[in-house]
Amino acid sequence: MVLISIPDSSTMINLYSNSTASCSSSVPRIGSRICVDFKPVSVRALGSGRRLCGSIRCEAQSDSDSLSMSNSASVSALQMLKTSAAGRYTKEKSGLIVVGLNFHTAPVEIREKLSIPEADLPQAISELCALNHIEEAAVLSTCNRMEIYVVSLSQHRGVKEITEWMSKVSGVSVSDIRSHQFLLYEKDATKHLFEVSAGLDSLVLGEGQILSQVKHVVKVGQGVPGFDRKISGLFKHAITVGKRVRTETNISSGSVSVSSAAVELAQMKIPENSYDSVRVLVVGAGKMGKLVIKHLIAKGCKNMVVVNRSEDRVSALREEFNDVEIVYQPFSELMSCASNSDVVFTCTASETLLFSKDQVQTLSKAPTQRLFVDISVPRNVESCVSDLEATQVYNVDDLKEVVEANKKDRLRKAEEAQLIISDEVREFEAWKDSLETVPTIKKLRAYAERIRESEMEKCLARMGGDISKKNQKAIHELSKGIVNKLLHGPMQHLRCDETEGRSLNEIIENMHALNRIFGLEMEISILEEKIRSKMEKSQV
């Protein structure tokens, strides 16, 4: 018994009849066509009780009648099986995908579990590209988003593999990830990254920090296998878009970062909306901490305590802002400093809580309400701290209150930026499409070569076996010459040669036309080979 499973239930290959008629009457003669039944069938797997939908059972008979047609029928069946199996991939487009979760779709409780430390990003790229259907990859992990950009050999299988990988490394169930994730493909994925880089998809419009984070993806990806031509080109173009949007619009005016929004949010909550008489503590003097300190100074804060693991960065800030009193304290004094503060900003890369409910409960009471503004992901302050009397915790999701203050202005600036992004998306998509002309040339030549070889073999078979090697060579060269002459024109119209005066759009149109005329979209040999190679590597 041989079991053939075909994914597309609309194409059922019935090699042998399952009727009660005699075997000799149901078996086709040699050279006859194989009956193709287009009705979906449902059979049971041989030797098991599992039900298979859209599958078919091919029974290889052991008697002499069935053996008499085994050669031609088995070859035809094998060819049909190969074609149907190939359909699994041709019916699912390969290309660019983004699988992500951000502050629009997922709460911080989920995002913090999925965040990837900066040092682990190269390893994440390598692991993603080791998956069977992923060719290239990049990871954009920030406090507001966790987005994975890939070039996938199959959209459906690629998304499935990425989701399972995210679950494996984070401990979040696949079902939870799916309920919060978003999926974008091809042009929509390109547009999304350009909007992210431009600050249009940020919690605070025009946020400058996200552009730096996109740049960092490129920096980290350099030299990492899997951060290759298409993904690298996408992120580099996104950087160009981010710069252009900020230059040509006023999108970066006002509050343009998470850190500045955090400072504004705290200012809205403190007495008289002023930092003049408020005791401020900043935990962490890294990139985010430094930005918080700068925005505090810009808002009139003249005194603050900074807790950090080392004093070097704090000393550098003292030198930069010598007219502001910045007091350094080590992490061992964290609770003591918090006890003497009214507003506490936490902005560290710590993966563990710095302030639990029990710890905060032991702090001395503040004259008014004590505020914790936690802009760290993972969070540094336990959310239930807000349950304590005269204590309030705000995290990155609460910054929406600041954003809403300038909603009308944000929409106007976003409209201006979208025009720029639309232009840039068209330019990038044209560049990406131009990369496909080389595979099209290879597929067209392979298609022509298969026809040439097949027809030459038929010709030699009809001429008999007594044809001389000299004549065989002449026929071979004749067939090659005809193919080369016929391919010369189409090949020229696919090549980006400045001397020919063809535009990129014209070349791409020619490529799509040839794909349609010769059915080259169905040419899956390259795709199959890539998938087979990746699967073999994963099994080593």
Active site residues: 143
CA atoms within 13 A on the CB side of 483: 19
For residues 65 and 27, is the Cβ–Cβ distance under 8 A?
yes
Tokens 């040339």 locate to 441
Phi and psi, residue 86, nearest 5°: -65, -30
Task: Single out the residue of 290, 300, 214, 209 nearest to residue 257, CA to CA.
Answer: 209
Report the distance separating Cα 415 and Cα 409, nearest Å. 10
Contact yes or no for 379/353 (Cβ under 8 A): yes
Q: Which two tokens stand for residue 505?
A: 């759009």
CB 294 within 8 Å of CB 257: no
Q: How far apart are CA 396 and CA 498, in angstroms?
A: 51
Whole-angstrom distance, CA of residue 407 vs CA of residue 199: 14
Q: What is the DSSP string of 340-380?
A: T-SEEEE----SS-SB-HHHHHTSPPPSS-EEEEE--SS-S
As a whole number of angstroms, the distance between CA 30 and CA 70 comes to 8
Tokens (6 digits) for 146: 């966790």
Q: What is the Cα–Cα distance from 410 to 198, expressed in whole angstroms?
A: 13
Q: Are 342 and 390 in contact (CB under 8 A)?
A: no
Q: How far is CA 495 from CA 58, 439, 500, 505, in A?
A: 47, 12, 9, 12
CB within 8 Å of 27: residues ≥ 6 apart: 16, 61, 65, 66, 69
Do residues 265 and 432 touch, judged by C-beta distance below 8 A?
A: no
Tokens of 327: 């007091």
Give every CB contact of residue 71 below 8 A, 6+ residues apart in sequence: 30
